[in-house]
C-alpha cells in the first residue's frame, strides 16, 4: 500500500524549506564578523557597522516572517502532529521557540544593537590598547542598555523571572541564575582547598623554562601541527578550516567552513599553543555535527556549555596531560632547537600546569579558572539587574579580583577590559565556561570507562578514538536535546561538580605531591 503524504507532512516540508535560509544568512554574517576581527582595515568600521545592522534586520525579518507562524499553527493544531517522530517534533519546538522570542523583539532594537555592537568592539580594541576605560565607557553603556531592553522583553516569552535569566537561556537553555549561584557557590568551596594545597606545596614548578622566546613563524608551524593531530584540516585541498590571528581568540563558522583564531606572543608561546587547542575543540564540534541535519534547527550545537566542555577537554584534559606531551614534546624540542634540550618532560608538564592566581582569564590554570568566571557571573547579574552601573565596573572588578584571587589589578586593560564579550554584546555567556569545565569532569568519567586506553592512545599520537567517541555520544545528537537532557543521556545525571573536583584533586595531588 502506498502511503499518502498528509497535510501536516506537506506543511512541515514547507516550514523546513522556509527556515533553511536562516542558517545560511547567519553563516554569512559569521564570516563578515570574522573578517572584521582579522582582515578588515581600520577605516572600514563605519561601513561594517552599517553592513551588520542591515544584515541583522534582514535576518530578523526572515525569522519573524508570518509565513513561519502560519505554518507552525497549521502543524501544531493538526491531528497528525501527535504522530510526528522525535526529530520533527524537536525541529518544530525549536522553530516555535525562536519565532516566539524574535517576534517579541522590535526590529529597530535588533538593528540598533548590531550596529552598536560593531562600534563598541572597535572602540574596545582602541581603549584596551590605550588603557582608557573612559573612552570605552559611553559605547558600552549604550550597548548594555540595549541588551537590558531585550532581556526584559524576552523574560515573559522565555518563561523566566529575571532579565539575566533570559540572556543565560540564549546560551544554556534551561539553566537559571539561581541554579548557577548554587552550583558556583559549591564549586568555589571545592576549589579553594585544592588551590591552597597547590600553593603551599614545597614542590613548585620552574616556570622560567616557559619564558624563552619562540619566533612567531615557529609558533604558526606548531599551531598547524596541533591542528593536524586533532584532525582539524587547514592545509589540504578539502580543508574546512583556517587559523588566523586576532586580539582575542575565537571560533566561527558552520559545518564545512569553521575558522579559528589565536594570538601569538614571542615571549609567551604557550598562550597561542593552548588557545589553538581550545579553539580547535570548538571547531571539531561544529564540523562533526550530523550532515543529514544541515540547515535544520536540530543540526546546530546543543549549547555553549557543551561547546566549552569540548574546548576544555582538548585544551586541558588532553593538551596539558603527560600523555599528550609524551607524544608532542620531542617535536617541540626539535622545532625550538636548544630551548628545551635541558628540560625534562615531567618538569615541562608541571610548568604548563602551574597553579597560581592570575589577573588574566585566558591564561588561568585549571584550578583558578572557574573563579574568574564566578567573578564575571556575579558582576553580570548585578549589571543587567540595574544594581550597578557601567562606570562602577572597574572598581567592582578590581575588588573582587583581590578578594577571590588575591591579585591586585594595576590597570583596566588587564582588568575589566581584558575580554571581548561585553563589547560584543554577549551577556550570559560567561557562565558556560565554568559549566563546560563541570561537564568535562562528568563526561570524562564516562569516556574513561568506554575508552579505557585513551591516555595510551594519546601518548602514541592517536586522537581518533576520542574523536569518534565524541561524534557518537555528543556531536551526532546536535540540538536534539536541551543541554541538561543531553548531559543526563551521557552521564545519567544532571549538573554535578564532584567528578570535576575529583579530576582536579587526582591530577594536582600528583603534580604537587600533596
Q: Could you report the per-residue pLDDT of 78-130, keeping only the tens digit for each?
A: 999 999 999 999 999 999 999 999 999 999 999 999 999 999 999 999 999 99
What does the alpha-carbon distance between residue 502 and residue 190 come to, in Å, rounded to a whole number?
10
What are the residue ranges of helices labelled H in 172-321? 177-200, 216-229, 269-287, 304-312
Model confidence at 4, in pLDDT bands (50, 70, 90)? very low
Q: Locate 74 and state its grid cell.
A: 497549521
User: pLDDT band at 18, cuts 50/70/90?
Assistant: very high
**Average pLDDT of the segment spanning 344-348:** 97
Contact 325, 345 (CB under 8 A): yes
> Can you give the pTM of this predicted structure?
0.94
5: pLDDT confidence band, cut at 50, 70 and 90?
A: low
d(CA 282, CA 474): 13
Dihedral angle of Cα 209, 215, 218, 223, to the nearest 10 degrees: 70
Mean residue pLDDT across the chain: 96
With 0-12 / 13-18 / 19 or more C-beta atoms within 10 angstroms meaning exposed / middle / buried, residue 5 is exposed
Given this model, what pLDDT does residue 6 score?
Answer: 66
Helix (H) or strand (E) holding 251: strand 251-254
Q: Strand pairing partners for 262? A: 245
* Average confidence (pLDDT) over 141-162: 97
pLDDT at 250 over 60: yes
Q: What is the DSSP letter of 6?
A: P
> Which of 188-227 are b and which e, b meaning 16 or more Cβ less than 10 Å from the residue's Cβ?
eebbeebbebbeeeeeebeeebbeeebeeebbeebbeebb
Q: What pLDDT band is residue 3 in, cutting at 50, 70 and 90? A: very low
Burial of 4 (0-12, 13-18, 19+ CB in 10 A): exposed
- Section 34-50 average pLDDT: 94
Q: 112: helix, coil or strand?
A: helix
Alpha carbons within 13 angstroms on the beta-carbon side of residue 257 total 11
Q: Is the dihedral of CA 91, 93, 98, 99 positive or negative?
A: positive
3-state helix vs strand vs coil in the chain, percent to 5: 70, 5, 30
Cα 351 to Cα 206, 209, 299, 339, 356, distances in angstroms = 6, 8, 40, 14, 11
What average pLDDT does this structure show over 311-316?
97
By C-alpha distance, which of 25, 12, 24 is closest to 81? 12
Q: Return the number of other C-beta atoms located less than 10 Å from residue 161's C-beta.
A: 13
Mean pLDDT (whole number) for 20-49: 95
| Length of the chain measured in residues | 514
Q: Which residues contact 334 (CB under 8 A, 6 or more apart)?
A: none
b/e code 394-429 from CB counts within 10 Å (16+ = b): bebbbebbeebbebebeebbbbbbbbbbbbbbbbbb
Ramachandran area for residue 428 (φ above 0: left; ψ -120 to 50: alpha; else beta) = left
| CATH number for domain 180-387+420-512, candidates 3.40.50.970, 3.30.390.30, 2.40.170.20, 1.10.1370.30 | 1.10.1370.30
Q: Among 206, 291, 292, 301, which residue's Cα sits nearest to residue 251?
A: 301
Q: Tell me: the pLDDT tens digits for 416-472?
A: 999 999 999 999 999 999 999 999 999 999 999 999 999 999 999 999 999 999 999
- pLDDT tens across 361-395, in order? 988 999 999 999 999 999 999 999 999 999 999 99
Domain coordinates in residue numbering, the chain: 7-159, 180-387+420-512
- CA separation for the pair 283, 255 (Å, rounded): 9
pLDDT score recorded for residue 247:
84
Q: Which residues are catalytic?
A: 279
End-to-end CA distance of the chain: 72
Amino acid at each position: 500500500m502506498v502511503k499518502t503524504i498528509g497535510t501536516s507532512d506537506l506543511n512541515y516540508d514547507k516550514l523546513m524549506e522556509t527556515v533553511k535560509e536562516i542558517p545560511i544568512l547567519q553563516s554569512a554574517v559569521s564570516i563578515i564578523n570574522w573578517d572584521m576581527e582579522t582582515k578588515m582595515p581600520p577605516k572600514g568600521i563605519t561601513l561594517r557597522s552599517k553592513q551588520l545592522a542591515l544584515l541583522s534586520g534582514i535576518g530578523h525579518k526572515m525569522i519573524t516572517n508570518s509565513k513561519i507562524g502560519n505554518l507552525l499553527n497549521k502543524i501544531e493544531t493538526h491531528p497528525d502532529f501527535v504522530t510526528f517522530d522525535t526529530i520533527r517534533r524537536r525541529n518544530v519546538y525549536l522553530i516555535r521557540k525562536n519565532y516566539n522570542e524574535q517576534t517579541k523583539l522590535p526590529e529597530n532594537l535588533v538593528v540598533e544593537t548590531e550596529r552598536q555592537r560593531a562600534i563598541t568592539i572597535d572602540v574596545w580594541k582602541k581603549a584596551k590598547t590605550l588603557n582608557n576605560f573612559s573612552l570605552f565607557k559611553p559605547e558600552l553603556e549604550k550597548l548594555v542598555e540595549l541588551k537590558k531592553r531585550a532581556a526584559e522583553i524576552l523574560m515573559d516569552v522565555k518563561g523566566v523571572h529575571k532579565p539575566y535569566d533570559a540572556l543565560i537561556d540564549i546560551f544554556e537553555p534551561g539553566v537559571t541564575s539561581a541554579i548557577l549561584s548554587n552550583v558556583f557557590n559549591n564549586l568555589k568551596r571545592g576549589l579553594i582547598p585544592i588551590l591552597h594545597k597547590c600553593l603551599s606545596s614545597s614542590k613548585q614548578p620552574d616556570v622560567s623554562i616557559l619564558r624563552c622566546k619562540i619566533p612567531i613563524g615557529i609558533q604558526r608551524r606548531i599551531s598547524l601541527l596541533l591542528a593536524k593531530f586533532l584532525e582539524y584540516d587547514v592545509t589540504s585541498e578539502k580543508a574546512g578550516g583556517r587559523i588566523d590571528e586576532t586580539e582575542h581568540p575565537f571560533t566561527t563558522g558552520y559545518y564545512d567552513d569553521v575558522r579559528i583564531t589565536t594570538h601569538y606572543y614571542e615571549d609567551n608561546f604557550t598562550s597561542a599553543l593552548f588557545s589553538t587547542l581550545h579553539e580547535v575543540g570548538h571547531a571539531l564540534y561544529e564540523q562533526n555535527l550530523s550532515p543529514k541535519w544541515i540547515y535544520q534547527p536540530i543540526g546546530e550545537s546543543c549549547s555553549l556549555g557543551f561547546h566549552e566542555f569540548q574546548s576544555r577537554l582538548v585544551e586541558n584534559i588532553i593538551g596539558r596531560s603527560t600523555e599528550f606531551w609524551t607524544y608532542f614534546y620531542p617535536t617541540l624540542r626539535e622545532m625550538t632547537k636548544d630551548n628545551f634540550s635541558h628540560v625534562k618532560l615531567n618538569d615541562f608538564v608541571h610548568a604548563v600546569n602551574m597553579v597560581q592566581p592570575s589577573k588574566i582569564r585566558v591564561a588561568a590554570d585549571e584550578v583558578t579558572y572557574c573563579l574568574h568566571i564566578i567573578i564575571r557571573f556575579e558582576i553580570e547579574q548585578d549589571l543587567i539587574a540595574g544594581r550597578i552601573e557601567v562606570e562602577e565596573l572597574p572598581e567592582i572588578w578590581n575588588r573582587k579580583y583581590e578578594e577571590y584571587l588575591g591579585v591586585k589589578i594595576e590597570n583596566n586593560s588587564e582588568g575589566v577590559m581584558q575580554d571581548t564579550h561585553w563589547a560584543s554584546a554577549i551577556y550570559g555567556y560567561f557562565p558556560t565556561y565554568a559549566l563546560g569545565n563541570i561537564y568535562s569532569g562528568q563526561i570524562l568519567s564516562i569516556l574513561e570507562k568506554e575508552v579505557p586506553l585513551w591516555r595510551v592512545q594519546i601518548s602514541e599520537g592517536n586522537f581518533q578514538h576520542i574523536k569518534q567517541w565524541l561524534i557518537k555520544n555528543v556531536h551526532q545528537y546536535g540540538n536534539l536535546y536541551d543541554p541538561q537532557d543531553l548531559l543526563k543521556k551521557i552521564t545519567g545525571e544532571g549538573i554535578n561538580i564532584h567528578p570535576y573536583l575529583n579530576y582536579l584533586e587526582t591530577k594536582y595531588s600528583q603534580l604537587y605531591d600533596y
